[in-house]
Amino acid sequence: MLDLTNRTAYNDDQNMFRDTVRKVFAEHMEPYLDQHEEDGIVPRSAWKALGEAGMLCPTVSEENGGLGLDFGYNAVIAEELSYLGSSAGFTLQNDITVNYFERLGSDEQKAKYLPGMISGDIITAIAMTEPGAGSDLQGIRTTAKEDGNHLIVNGSKTYITNGQHADVVIVVAKTDPTMGAKGTSLILVDADTPGFERGRNLDKIGQHSADTSELFFNDVRVPKTNMLGQEGRGFIHLMEELPQERLSIAIGCQAGAQRAFDEAVKFVKERKAFGKTVFEFQNTKFSLAQMQTELQVGWAHIDWALKKHMAGELTTEEASAAKLWHTDLQNRICDEALQLHGGAGYMNEYPIARLWRDARVTRIFGGTNEIMKEVISRGI
């Protein structure tokens, strides 16, 4: 369980909400973690349970049918999910896609999608990455060509979180391929639209419980009213949401790193070698001391970034730095924690193995850490 003794970002209401989150996860997630990993997906029943508990899209305004809470509640969910050791796509819906719908959506789009997103009846995805375009979103090739009052979408996407479950996908497409980034728009494609196909639930190194998919768009015909936000401003809309996305990743990484450390402490205090516990060796104590120090710094930084973001002051460069630092931290600590497990750490029956596998992709998604350095350097 995460130690909240020295946290500064949360108020009493958010701490009470955390108790609810833990109870819901203990009932609907924790007993089934291995099954989720084996199935490669978290069932819709879990989404519904979170919806009933107010744990999906809690920041949606009361006007739009939500609870009207601040991002701190999202952060609580993200921390507890990551500490649990699950890679379910709840945070994608909470921290990323819902903002596009509420901030950019028409009244009709909000009415159609937001209630279901809050209840867990509608699961969303955002399709940016393509086989030939990853962090460089300006290089996308998927098109949405005008045809009367409709748009015809053609292209393919890959590595799409919630891809197997998604009822609606925010598709990043070129509405004017001659205009580069200025010709990019966001198009809503419902999963039952003719021409939309799901490919494989991709076989990944880690994060097995996250359904991550290929998506194909073959002459998918949607009305122009399915455009989300302004035509030609898709790239700008994406950039506007990146600070929260990258902070969300940093939050999950910090909690995942803490869980890895806690697993290491538990193991070395129980495991014996040469007549004493592994914890009693100086190398072990020094390794744990280094990790504990870095985690202390990390939590202080997360709380700083959280408070700054909730005040509307977190910059793109600061969010990118948070993503860079906390993903690196998670990978270092997971690796060291596995090392302290010895051979047991390489066995999938120990939680550290899953934590170590799941951590690796965090330095890649949400923009690679190399791209984070590029973004940070622009503000220097």
At residue 69, φ and ψ (nearest 5 deg) are: -90, 170
What does R_g of the chain's alpha carbons equal in angstroms? 21
Which residues, at least 6 apart from 83, have a Cβ–Cβ distance to it below 8 Å?
1, 2, 255, 256, 258, 259
38 carries an active-site annotation: no
Q: How deeply is 62 buried, as exposed, middle or buried, from its count of CB atoms within 10 A (0-12, 13-18, 19+)?
A: exposed
Can you tell me the distance from the alpha carbon of 261 to that of 333, in angstroms, rounded to the nearest whole number? Answer: 7
> How many residues in total does the chain contain?
380
Q: Which of 70, 68, 58, 13 is nearest to 307 (CA)?
A: 70
Can you tell me the distance from the alpha carbon of 232 to that of 236, in angstroms, rounded to the nearest whole number? Answer: 9
Structure tokens at 374: 């590029």
Can you tell me the distance from the alpha carbon of 243 to that of 309, in angstroms, rounded to the nearest whole number? Answer: 8
Contact 30, 46 (CB under 8 A): no
Cβ atoms within 10 Å of 214's Cβ, excluding its own:
17
Structure tokens at 199: 């490919």
Q: Which element (helix H / strand E) includes 215? A: strand 212-223
Can you tell me the distance from the alpha carbon of 156 to that of 158, in angstroms, rounded to the nearest whole number? Answer: 7
Q: Which element (helix H / strand E) includes 168? A: strand 168-174
Write the DSSP string, 217-259: EEEEEEEGGGEES-TT-HHHHHHHHHHHHHHHHHHHHHHHHHH
Q: For every residue of 125-156, which 3-state class applies, written as one string?
A: EEECCECCECCCHHHCCCEEEEECCEEEEEEE
Contact 261, 292 (CB under 8 A): yes
Catalytic-role residue among 37, 79, 102, 245: 245
* Catalytic residue annotation: 245
